[in-house]
Amino acid sequence: MKNKIDEILKYNAGYVEEKLYVPHITDGKPKLKLAIVTCMDTRLTVMLTHALGLKNGDAKIIKVAGGTILNDYDNVIRSLLVAIYELDCDEIMIIHHTDCGACHMNSKDMLRLMKGKGISDEAIAMASGQVNLDEYLEGFHDTESSVRKTVATVRNHPLVPKNISVRGFIMDSKTGGLMEVM
């Protein structure tokens, strides 16, 4: 039986051979000078761009669990700095969504799941020496508060220029409707 990756590789070969990529060719700089930080939830894979009316090449979309920023120097901030300084983005949208799995994440449960998949106590102890696992693996429990915190982290970052517009939203994960969080 073929695995999923082999099936994807087979499809990809046909995609390239049939030149299905041609309508998606772009230069890599976001035409709208817009960066979006959002969740990696599969419901948003297509819905996000369709609900916002975005075409390929319009925006840089940074997807991460919960659409959150863990600290002032994580990879989300790094990606935003690249978007601002290398790609000329001057607006940032933070988009969380309803019924987000990160609302239910609990560090104790995550550690239990890790152990259930064979991660040793030694590996967990080693990771704990690098990061506070209780904070690192914990989700958020109030979506609006999480949006406000994420927006504030970007707005107040010492390396983000003050003239960058940063706004926060919650997307309805069924309809794609946006509600701005003030």
pLDDT the model gives residue 44: 94
Sheet harboring 34-38: ordered strands across?
59-63, 34-38, 91-97, 165-171, 178-181
Query: What does the pLDDT read at residue 28?
Result: 87
Q: Which CATH architecture has domain 30-105+140-181?
A: 3-Layer(aba) Sandwich (3.40)
Q: By C-alpha distance, which of 91, 94, 95, 96 is closest to 34?
A: 91
What does pTM read for this prediction?
0.91
For residue 160, the model assigns a pLDDT of 98
From 107, 106, 181, select the one nearest 150 (Cα to Cα).
Answer: 181
Euclidean distance between CA atoms 116 and 138, whole angstroms: 18
Average model confidence (pLDDT) for the chain? 94
pLDDT (average), residues 84-108: 95
- pLDDT score of 27: 87
pLDDT digits (tens, 9 = 90+) for 107-136: 999 999 999 999 999 999 999 999 999 989
Decide if 167 contacts 92 (C-beta within 8 A): yes
Number of other residues whose CB lies within 10 A of the CB of residue 54: 17
Residue pair 171/97 in contact by the 8 Å Cβ criterion? yes
Residue 178 has what pLDDT?
97
Note the pLDDT of residue 87: 97
Give residue-wise pLDDT tens across range 38-71.
999 999 999 999 999 999 999 999 999 999 998 8
Break the chain into its structural domains and give their ranges. Answer: 30-105+140-181
Query: Is residue 1 very low, low, confident or very high in pLDDT (cuts 50, 70, 90)?
Result: low
**For 62-99, what is the HEC assignment?**
EECHHHCCCCCCCHHHHHHHHHHHCCCCCEEEEEEECC
For CA atoms 152, 157, 163, 169, the dihedral sign is negative
9-42: pLDDT as tens digits: 999 999 999 999 999 898 889 999 999 999 999 9
